[in-house]
Amino acid sequence: MELKHVFQASAIAAALVLAGCGGDININEGDIDNSVTNNYGDGGSDGGNGGSNPDDTLPGETSSFLSGQVSTALGTDVEVRVISGRLTADDADASGNVTLTNDVIWALEGPVFVGNDNADSANLVIEEGAVVFGRSGDDYLVVSRGSTIEAEGTVENPIIFTSLADVVGDEVGAGQWGGLVLLGNAPSNKCPLTGDCALQVEGVQEGAVFGGTDESDNSGVLKYVVVKYAGFEIAPDNELNGITFGGVGSGTTVDYLQVHANADDGVEFFGGNVNVKHLVLTSNQDDSIDWDNGFKGKMQYVFVQQDRTDGDANRGIEADNDGSTPDIEPQSNPMISNLTIIGNNFKGEDESEGVYLREGTGAQIFNMLVTGPSEMGECLEVEGSTESQANLSDGTILIRNSVLACTNGENFKWNESAGDVDLENWFTAVMAENQVLESIGLNSDGTPTAESPLLTGGYDASQADGFFEATSFIGALDNANDWRQGWAFGFGGGQVGVVVASSGCPAGTTNIASVDGVTTTCEVSGRITADLTLTAGNMYALSGAVFVGNDNADSATLTIQPGVTVYGASGNDYLVVSRGSEIDAQGTVDAPVTFTSQDDVVSDAGAAGQWGGLVILGNAPSNKCPTTGDCALQVEGVQEGAVFGGTDTADSSGTLRYVRVMHGGFEIAPDNELNGITFGGVGSGTTVEYLQVHKNADDGVEFFGGNVDVKYLVLTDIQDDSIDWDNGFQGRMQNVLVRQAQDNSDANRGIEADNDGSTPDIEPQSNPIISNLTIIGNNFKGEDEAEGIYLREGTGAQLSNVIVTGVDGMGECFEVENSAESQANLGDDTITFTNSVIACSEAFKYDAAGVNLETWFTDAARANAVAAGQADVVDGIFTITDAVTPKDWTGDTFFDVVDYVGAVKDSDNNWTSGWTVGLE
C-alpha cells in the first residue's frame, strides 16, 4: 500500500509502505473484496452507511462514501465499514466473537456499545494492526458490564483508535472523536451499601453503568493499543476521556497502552481494581492520569509527557477518593512504581502541574520522577483537607525512592499558615530515599543518560507486591530498554501516516504529520521567493526539490534557527540555494542546525543516501564559464535550471555555522550525483565554519569553482571522496578533519582534486590553500579503495600542517596524476606540501617516469616528515606528533597562527566537541 500524505504533494511519499512501518495502517490488500462494496443512493453524503452483501459476515456495513474518501487519501482501494448501535451475541461469528479485522478500516457512528448491561454479552475482537476511527465527539466505543474487548496488537502492528481527519490527511487535534469506555463489575465507593450497583459513567449516554462487588472482574485485553485525538465535553464536568475505566476489575489485562492528544484526561479510573503496565500518556490537554471513587489498581512503567510546544495541559496526576465524603470506603489507594512525569510551561485556566493528591485519596508511589521546565506549576501537592493531610502522616500516602527535579522553584506546594504538613520535609526527611535534584541527566525523549543518577537508587517494588517487576532505576525508563519504541506514537509507531495539524509552522510552510508524534512538523516545498525563517521548536520536511529564489531573481533568504532539524525522505528531496539568494543557518555548539533523513529522525536508522543533500549556487568564477557573455553552468545532481558561475569572487551565499548534514547523497546517473554539500561558484563573502558532513553516499563536500573559505570542517564516514574540488576552486580551509568509516566500509579519497579534465591548464586554475588538515583513512577495498590525497587534471594545491594516515591496508596516502600539467605543478610550486607528516603503509604512489613523490615530499626545504604508522601521529582524532614545526601563518588574516599540525590539537582544544556526531 502506498502512503500519500506523510508529506503532502511529495513525489516520494507514495513510495512509503504502510505495512512495513511499525504502527502505521496495515491493510492486507489481498483480503479486500471490492466486489461487495455497493453504491447505496448517494453513498451517504454525510458519510453514513450503505448496505451489505447478504453473504457478508463482518459487522457493520460498507460505506462507499467513506471508502472512496479514505482510498483517495491512502492511494489504494480500502473498504471502510461503519458500525453503530449495539453489538451483541446475535452479531457474533461461529466462534462467538464480533471481530473487527485488519483488512478493512472501521468507522464508529454514534455511540457503539458492546453488549447490554450484564446481558446479551459479546466479546469484541480487534485484530492486530486494525484501525478504528470516529468523526465527531458523538462517536465512541463502550464495552458494557459483562462484555469484553480483546484488542491485542503487537509491537509492529498496534491497534489504533483515532479520528477520520488523521486517516484522510486533514488537520488533526484533540477532541475530534469521543473515546473508549470500559465498564465493569468491580467496586466503587459510590455504590450503595445494599442492593445492586449501577453508576452512570460520565461522558456517555444514559444507561452506561458500572460498579459491583467483583474485584477480579474481566473486561478483556488492551495490549499494544494507541488512542489519539479523542475526548469530548458533553457538559461541564461530564467529559469523555481518552480511555475511561469504570469499575474495571483486575481480571482485565492492560499492557502497552497509549493515549495521545486527548481533549480531557488521558485515562480516568472510576473505582475498580484494574492493573496497568507500560502506559504512555502524551500531549493530553487535561490530567494525564485521574482516579476517583475507590480506585485500587496497580501501575508500573508509566510515562507522562505534556505537550512539548507548551500547549494545553493540567496535571500529570489528579487523584481523588470522594469530594463529598473524603474518607469513604473503599478508599482510592493505588500502587504505582516507575513513573515519569515531564511537565510543560502551559499557562491557562489550568496550568501544567505534576501530582495533586486530594479528596482523601491514598497513594503508594515508588520510583517516581517529576520534572519540567521553568514555568511549570507545582510538582507535588497534597490537598489541605483534614483527610488528605492525615494520609500523609499515617502512610496512606507514601512516596519513596523518588526524585523531584522541577526547575521552577516550586517542587512542593503546601499551606504552612493553615497547619498543613511541610511537604518538602515530609518528602525528603520522613519518606525513605527521596531526592530533590537539579540535574538528572535526562535525554529529550525522557530516557536517562548513561551518567544519570536515576539509574540507581530505585526501590524493588516486587517486595511490596508480586505484580511489580524488580527494578533498580527511578522513572519509567532505564537507558537500556525503551519499551515505547516501535508501537507508541512519537516513538516509531502508532502512525496512520497522514497530515497532522500543528500550531507554529511559519507562513510559507505547511503543517504535516508530526514526524515523531510529538514535535510540530512543517513541510517545505517548491520555490521560496520571499524571506522565510524555519523557527526553532519545529522540524521541517523537504518535499521534493526545494529552491530558495530563482536564478538571480526573486531572491530570498532562508533563515534556519539554532536547533532546527530539516529532513528528507528520499533522493528526490534536496535544498538548493539559487544564485542571488542566501541561506542563514546559524546553529550553536549546543543547538546545531541539522539536515538529515527521515529514517534518522524517526528511528535513528540513518544511513548514507537516504535523501538528497544541500546545494549552494553563487556568482563566483568557474573555469567552465565562457570567455565572453554570461555564465550559467548546470550543477550536477540537480534538475535543469540550477546554475552557477560568474565574475564576483566576493559573492555571498549566506552563512553556514554549526551545521550538520547527514545521511545524504544520491546518484541521479553515473557521474551525476548529489554530494552532502555542493558549492557551485560560491564566493568568499559566504561564511562557512563549524560544518560537518556525515555518512554521505557520494562526496562529502564538492567545490565547483568559486572562492568560498571554510574553517572547522568535519567529514566522517563519507562513501566517496570526503573533499572534491574542480573547475578553478581557489578557496581557503583551516582545521579540517576527515575520518573514514572505522568499520572499513565504503570510502574513497580524503581529497580528490581537479582543475579540468579536458583542459588541465585552463584559468582560473584550481589552487586552494589548506592548513591543519587531518585525514584518517580505512582499509576499504572495493571498486574504489580508501586513499589519502590525489591531485590530478592540472590542479594546484597549497598544503601545510597536514597529517595523512590510516590503518594498515589503506591505499596510497599521496599521489599526483602523471599528466604533464600535474607533474609540472610539482616543479613550479603550483603544488606545495609543507610542514606535514605522512604515516601510511603505502605513503606515496607515483610513476617512475614522473616526479619521485617521496623524494619531493621529504626535501628538507619542505619541512615534512614520514612516520611509521597511525599510532605515531594521532590518538583518535587528536594530534600527538611533534615531528615537524607548524607553518606560521602570520600575515594572512584568514588563518589562525597555531602550534600544532593536523586538525585537532588535543582534548582540551577539541573544537568538534558538543555539536558533531560519529566521533565517539
Domain ranges of the chain: 81-189+221-463, 721-912
pLDDT of residue 670: 64
Pairing of strands 180-183, 140-143: parallel
pLDDT confidence of 500, banded at 50, 70, 90?
A: very low
On the question of pLDDT at 143 being above 70, the answer is yes
Joined grid coordinates for residue 587: 546553529
Banded model confidence at residue 11, pLDDT cuts 50, 70, 90: very low
Q: Are 302 and 275 in contact (CB under 8 A)?
A: no
Closest C-alpha to 614, from 635, 640, 633, 589: 635
Q: Beta 209-210 vs 199-200: how paired, if at all?
A: antiparallel
In whole angstroms, give the CA distance from residue 273 to residue 330: 11
The confidence band for 76, taking pLDDT boundaries of 50, 70 and 90, is: confident
CA nearest neighbour of 838 among 798, 790, 883:
883
830-873 residue pLDDT tens: 999 999 999 999 999 999 999 999 999 999 999 999 999 999 99
The identity of residue 825, as a single letter, is N
CA distance 850 to 827: 11
pLDDT higher than 80, residue 608: yes
Radius of gyration of the chain (CA): 32
* Residue 760 grid cell: 588541465
What one-character DSSP code corresponds to residue 169? T
Of residues 135 and 32, more confidence is placed in: 135
Looking at residue 79, its pLDDT comes to 93
Report pLDDT for 672. 66
Q: How does residue 523 score in pLDDT terms, banded at 50, 70 and 90?
A: very high
pLDDT tens digits, 433-443:
999 998 898 88
pLDDT for res 3: 28
Burial of 907 (0-12, 13-18, 19+ CB in 10 A): exposed
State pLDDT tens for residues 241-253. Answer: 999 999 999 999 9
pLDDT of residue 155 exceeding 50? yes
pLDDT digits (tens, 9 = 90+) for 442-488: 887 899 988 899 999 999 999 999 999 999 999 999 988 999 998 99
Q: How far are the Cα atoms of 255, 258, 487, 523 from residue 483, in angstroms, in the given order?
A: 11, 12, 9, 30
CB–CB of 128/157 below 8 Å?
yes
* CB contact burial 14-31 (16+ within 10 A = b; e otherwise): eebebeebbbbbbbeeee
616 neighbors 666 (Cβ within 8 angstroms):
no
C-beta of residue 497 within 8 angstroms of C-beta of residue 5: yes
Q: What is the pLDDT of residue 518?
A: 85
Amino acid at 670: P
Residue 430 — very low, low, confident or very high, per pLDDT cuts 50/70/90?
A: confident
CA distances from 614 to 568, 677, 730, 754 (A): 11, 5, 21, 21
Section 628-653 average pLDDT: 94
Residue 26: pLDDT over 60: no
Asked whether the predicted pLDDT for residue 505 surpasses 90, the reply is no
Instruction: Give the model's pLDDT for residue 527.
Output: 94
Report the pLDDT value the prediction gives residue 509, as an integer from 0 to 100: 86
Cβ-contact 872, 884 below 8 angstroms:
no
Strands 874-875 and 878-879: antiparallel
236 falls in which pLDDT band (50, 70, 90)? low
pLDDT band at 5 (very low <50, low <70, confident <90, very high): very low
pLDDT in tens, 740-794: 999 999 999 999 999 999 999 999 999 999 999 999 999 999 888 999 999 999 9
What pLDDT was estimated at residue 671? 64
CA-based end-to-end distance of the chain? 39
pLDDT at position 779 is 96
- 799 or 492, greater pLDDT: 799
* Mean predicted confidence (pLDDT) in 276-297: 97
**Minimum mean pLDDT range among 285-294, 373-382, 826-835:** 373-382
732/520: higher pLDDT: 732
> pLDDT-based confidence at 97, cuts 50/70/90?
very high
